[in-house]
A and B are shown apart, each in its own frame.
Chain A
Amino acid sequence: MIDRRILKGFDWSFLGAVLLLSMIGVLTIYSATRPILETQHPSFYVKQLNWTVLSLAVFFVVVSIDYRWFIRSAYVLYIIGVFLLIIVVIAGRKGMGAQRWIDLGFLSFQPSELFKIAFVLTLSRYLSRLESGARLGIKELSKICAGFFILPAVLILKQPDLGTMLMVMFIFVSMLLTYGIRKKLIMTVLIIGLVALPFAGKYLWGGLKDYQKNRIIAFIDPQADPQGIGYHITQSKVSIGSGGFLGKGYTKGTQGPYRFLPEHHTDFIFSIFSEEWGFIGSVVLFLLYLFIIWKGFDTARNARDIEGTYLATGITYMFTFYFVVNIGMTLGLMPVVGIPLPLMSYGGTALLSNFLALSIIANVRVRRFASYYK
């Protein structure tokens, strides 16, 4: 239960930054979906606002439960998560060429979003209880891979959801690196990887779906077919670039409402924001994200126990990765991968899972001094 001392330690600035970003998100969704020829304003922004309120409630509920309870339940949550992934593959709803949703009738959600959090919890629990404390060797690494990674990875690829797959892989690798892997092993894997890449590349490339190949081609050379596969990247750059230094002004952007930029209220929300607020606004936005990431790492450093440290680090990695892949994509620095911008992109499940994840950081943070009162 939350007692007063814990409440005193609650970091309001962290929640403030999170709420500010999600409000900016709602406002940008409003602007991006402005009706131009129609009279009815699409209700995306209202839905997003509702989800924000719900997410905020969840946030407080999660903060009130000591994160050690989650650590204790990590494996159960992990199994539930994998179970949901299996359901998706068997009976999920299809959308946009992939099968990612579970339809509950009143709402549909992506289990992979929730699975990522369970995955971080599981790894945190496992790594914090490793007895040796020594860096990981090949034997331990294989064991962890087989135990936690392979099955969900296969299930996610089956959907297919390349973005989430990369995300889970990144969390996995970065958390293991944070724990420590033998240098020799890292070097060996790197060298084998580099040597094998040209050969494996062919099979990897062959295993990709056409739309995935197109995205990579478009990333390498958007001019190859600016009206076709390179269209997203080109139009995103046009949106951002035309914003200039000061931006066109709120609700003055055209790329979104005129439908030149597809996915303008979901994956490409930053392009719309940047078009309207320019370089200045984008810098401020970046600083807000950086502030949250910094708070995350700070929480990890100051956590009262090693579980808290792993938990905060893992969540921060996840959040950072979301941000980097999304912004990298809108800036034309990375291939188009369907990863939303955390807190701002339209999408209920994603927003909720972002709040859920960040509430775990807040959870660890609020209890950083609690050990003294054990």
Chain B
Amino acid sequence: MDRKINIAFTIVITVFSLFLLRLWYLQVIKGDEYKKIDEKNRIRVIDIPAPRGIIYDRNNNPLVKNVLSYDISMLKEDIPEALAPLADLARLIGLPEENILRMAKASASPYESVKLRRNVSFDEVARIEARKTDFPGLLVEVTNVREYLYGQTAGHLLGYLSNPTPKQLSMPEFSGVPREAFIGQYGIEKSYDGILRGVAGKKIVEVDALGNIIKFVRIQKPLKGRDIRISMDINAQIEAEKSLEGKAGAVVALKADTGEVLAMASSPSFDPNLFVAGIDQDKWKALISDPRKPLMNRAIQNQYPPGSTFKTITALSALETGQISERTSEYCGGSTYFGRTFRCWKSGGHGNVDTHRAIVESCDVFFYDIGKKINIDTIAKYASAFGLGRPTGIDLEAEASGNLPSSQWKLKVKKEKWYQGETLSVAIGQGYLTVTPIQMARLAAGLVNGGKLYRPHLLLGERPELEKTVDVESRNLDFIKRAMLGVVYEKGGTGGMARSNIVSIGGKTGTAQVIGGAVSGKKLSAAQQDHAWFISYAPQLNSQIAAAVFVEHGGHGGSAAAPIAKRVIEAYFNPPKPEGVEEQKEAARSEVQEVLQQQDEQKPDEQDLTGQYLPALEQGEQPQDTAVQEKQEEEGD
């Protein structure tokens, strides 16, 4: 008996020793590891999103604001599976049952919080809070969301936010950005995300097994993102978008002497507020499958032939290389022959035209004749000098470069030599040549500011970045500019619809053919309609603004695009104050007449100067529009 008891006790001692070894293993050998797990158990790091910086326009009008938003979320494991409570929950939070289930399925861990709805109204929050006890795990979280104050206006320019993609999260520039954060994915929001984003804060808390916060260990406050001011003028922007309403197209207005973007509209557009609550699948699908491509920023991504607006460059290169002079005169009989018949847009012909009239009336035959003689590479050289054929470098992503053909380009891409006949097409802005509206706006600015090519930019406070000053005779530039004023103000000018009562506007129309050799008289369908262009500037002396307008299938540049340019330019200069209007008009009129006088001396027979269309403000000479004055003061900072 004693022996058996001794055996039993020996077994007990053995088991105890085994337990002690196990204890030693768990507590001493693995102790630190388990301490970490223990901490992980109860220490939670909660991100505090940083308020994003505010975006202001050039006149300090806020374009966005941050507003409190209420989000509804629930731990995945707390989402009811039984039909009755699920239906009950669906009713309470106003989300279809299948959506709830789909969202629950999408989250990996049962302990992950599933965001069921974002941006819930305060009334709904009150209703949900009242019944919260029926659904354990249902949470109402308060976050900051972006509100775009002007809705659809400047949607392409401001862009939108969304949660970082998995790929972005793995990139170093987004390190420390919480998965739940909103970052810029398009437009200015994306380009300057680094500035606007700020630094998310952290709340380190101890929680119990049910996720109740027991105490705060440490709080690291979020760092608010920095505010930025962009060069856009909201009045000009609104006007640009309004004038494009119902059309597809783009307007780009630049400050002629700095490259600052005053307005950049692309139509159709979208409302960035749609993305605030996390855009739902249906709306997103509708946006990306819309044949009118509302998500495409036509101002920087549309590539179409510039049409006759390009004649400014053709004329300039011919003048520079001595192919023509200011006095060169040609006869336009409606068409010319070079291997085949090249027709002028005016079937009856323009008769005798000199260089000035050829630009004013946009005579194709005159430019075909240049095209017969001039080397394509000469045109390419000047076009390239004014920034065509490459992105302008504006601070927005995904800019297109357009296409600037040359003999080398043709060999390389088309594997054949350049034919002179093709130069005729390029001379009138057709053929292989394609451009973007922003390129044309910059080109217009370069033509009227003495050949200075700035990098277009939106962020204010940057020094204007002068890419280069084009090496051309200023006499030739002045000649082109005078012709562009004539386009708007002279009899027979193709851009008469851009005439303004407030400011002198010059420009050049363009009508880019969609189908070659259209038979006149035959009605074209909407998709075959020509694209309308107008490049412009204002005022004539010390030009401040340069703008390009493009209307897809808009028809004639003079009728479809020119009035838009006028509206945008006028919005920028603002309607003058009632007092002094007459004085201003008078002053503007005298200025335009003075400029035109110089031409009239050369061609008195062409005079048709319409006193009632008036224009122009000359700086320093007369009392200025106060709005203009303010703008100039602000540009100093």
Chain A residues within 8 Å of B, Cβ to Cβ: 36-37, 174, 177-178, 180, 227, 235, 237-245, 254-255, 257-260, 274, 278-279, 282-283, 286, 290, 293-294, 297, 300-301, 306, 309, 313, 316-317, 320, 324, 327-328, 331-333
Residue on A nearest B40 in the bound complex, by CB: A238
8 more contacts with CB within 8 A, not counting A227-B111, A241-B38, are A238-B34, A242-B35, A245-B28, A255-B41, A274-B27, A300-B5, A317-B8, A333-B22
B9 at the interface (CB under 8 A from A): yes
A-contact 0/1 string along B1-33, CB 8 Å cutoff: 110110011001101101110111011101111
Residue on A nearest B208 in the bound complex, by CB: A258
Q: Could you jot down 5 A-B contacts, CB within 8 Å? A: A241-B26, A242-B34, A245-B27, A245-B28, A258-B209
- Which residues between 320 and 364 of chain B lie within 8 Å of chain A, taking CB atoms? none
- Which residues between 180 and 231 of chain B lie within 8 Å of chain A, taking CB atoms? 206-210, 212, 214
Of the listed residues B30, B32, B38, the one surrounded by the most CB atoms of chain A closer than 10 A to its CB is B38
Determine whether the beta carbon of B31 is less than 8 Å from that of A244. yes
Determine whether the beta carbon of B24 is less than 8 Å from that of A279. yes
**6 closest cross-chain pairs (CB), A and B:** A241-B34, A242-B38, A258-B208, A244-B31, A259-B209, A279-B27
B491 at the interface (CB under 8 A from A): no
Determine whether the beta carbon of A331 is less than 8 Å from that of B23. yes
Residue on B nearest A240 in the bound complex, by CB: B26
Among the listed A36, A306, A317, which residue makes an inter-chain contact with B208, where contact means beta carbons less than 8 Å apart? A36
- Which residues between 33 and 69 of chain B lie within 8 Å of chain A, taking CB atoms? 33-35, 37-38, 41-42
B611 at the interface (CB under 8 A from A): no
Determine whether the beta carbon of A237 is less than 8 Å from that of B34. yes
Instruction: Give Cα A232–Cα B293 distance, bound, in whole angstroms.
Output: 57
What residues on A are CB-neighbors of B37 within 8 Å?
238, 241-242
Given A258-B42, A286-B20, A328-B19, A241–B8 Cβ distance below 8 Å? Answer: no
Residue on A nearest B19 in the bound complex, by CB: A327
Given A301-B2, A320-B12, A245–B22 Cβ distance below 8 Å? Answer: no
B110 at the interface (CB under 8 A from A): yes
What residues on B are CB-neighbors of A238 within 8 Å?
34, 37-38, 41
Residue on B nearest A260 in the bound complex, by CB: B209
What residues on A are CB-neighbors of B23 within 8 Å?
240, 274, 279, 282-283, 331
Determine whether the beta carbon of A241 is less than 8 Å from that of B27. yes
Instruction: Give Cα A316–Cα B6 distance, bound, in whole angstroms.
Output: 13
Overall SS of chain B's interface: helix
Determine whether the beta carbon of B16 is less than 8 Å from that of A297. no
Instruction: Give Cα A238–Cα B209 distance, bound, in whole angstroms.
Output: 14
Determine whether the beta carbon of B34 is less than 8 Å from that of A301. no
Instruction: Give Cα A159–Cα B273 distance, bound, in whole angstroms.
Output: 62
Among the listed B1, B27, B110, B210, which residue makes an inter-chain contact with A278, where contact means beta carbons less than 8 Å apart? B27
Instruction: Give the size category of B's interface with A.
Output: 35 or more
What residues on B are CB-neighbors of A178 within 8 Å?
1, 4-5, 8
Instruction: Give Cα A306–Cα B4 distance, bound, in whole angstroms.
Output: 14
Given A242-B31, A242-B38, A174–B8 Cβ distance below 8 Å? Answer: yes
Determine whether the beta carbon of B20 is less than 8 Å from that of A283. yes
- Which residues between 102 and 133 of chain B lie within 8 Å of chain A, taking CB atoms? 110-111
Determine whether the beta carbon of A290 is less than 8 Å from that of B27. no
Instruction: Give Cα A197–Cα B206 distance, bound, in whole angstroms.
Output: 48
Instruction: Give Cα A255–Cα B9 distance, bound, in whole angstroms.
Output: 34
What residues on B are CB-neighbors of A174 within 8 Å?
8
CB distance from B13 to the nearest CB of A (A): 8
Residue on B nearest A303 in the bound complex, by CB: B1
Among the listed B15, B19, B110, which residue makes an inter-chain contact with A227, where contact means beta carbons less than 8 Å apart? B110
Determine whether the beta carbon of B8 is less than 8 Å from that of A254. no
What residues on A are CB-neighbors of B111 within 8 Å?
227
Instruction: Give Cα A257–Cα B42 distance, bound, in whole angstroms.
Output: 11
Instruction: Give Cα A286–Cα B42 distance, bound, in whole angstroms.
Output: 29
Given A36-B214, A258-B209, A286–B35 Cβ distance below 8 Å? Answer: no
Instruction: Give Cα A258–Cα B9 distance, bound, in whole angstroms.
Output: 39
Given A178-B1, A333-B22, A241–B12 Cβ distance below 8 Å? Answer: no
Of the listed residues A178, A237, A255, A258, the one surrounded by the most CB atoms of chain B closer than 10 A to its CB is A258
Determine whether the beta carbon of A259 is less than 8 Å from that of B12. no
Determine whether the beta carbon of A313 is less than 8 Å from that of B210. no
Among the listed B5, B26, B30, B32, which residue makes an inter-chain contact with A313, where contact means beta carbons less than 8 Å apart? B5
What residues on A are CB-neighbors of B31 within 8 Å?
241-245
Residue on A nearest B210 in the bound complex, by CB: A259
Instruction: Give Cα A239–Cα B37 distance, bound, in whole angstroms.
Output: 9
Instruction: Give Cα A215–Cα B26 distance, bound, in whole angstroms.
Output: 21
CB distance from B17 to the nearest CB of A (A): 10
Given A242-B31, A242-B38, A309–B1 Cβ distance below 8 Å? Answer: yes
What residues on B are CB-neighbors of A258 within 8 Å?
41-42, 206-209, 214
What residues on A are CB-neighbors of B15 within 8 Å?
324
Residue on B nearest A244 in the bound complex, by CB: B31
What residues on B are CB-neighbors of A37 within 8 Å?
208, 212, 214
What residues on A are CB-neighbors of B35 within 8 Å?
241-242, 244
Residue on A nearest B2 in the bound complex, by CB: A301
What residues on A are CB-neighbors of B32 within 8 Å?
244
What residues on A are CB-neighbors of B18 within 8 Å?
333
Given A255-B38, A278-B27, A331-B23, A297–B208 Cβ distance below 8 Å? Answer: no
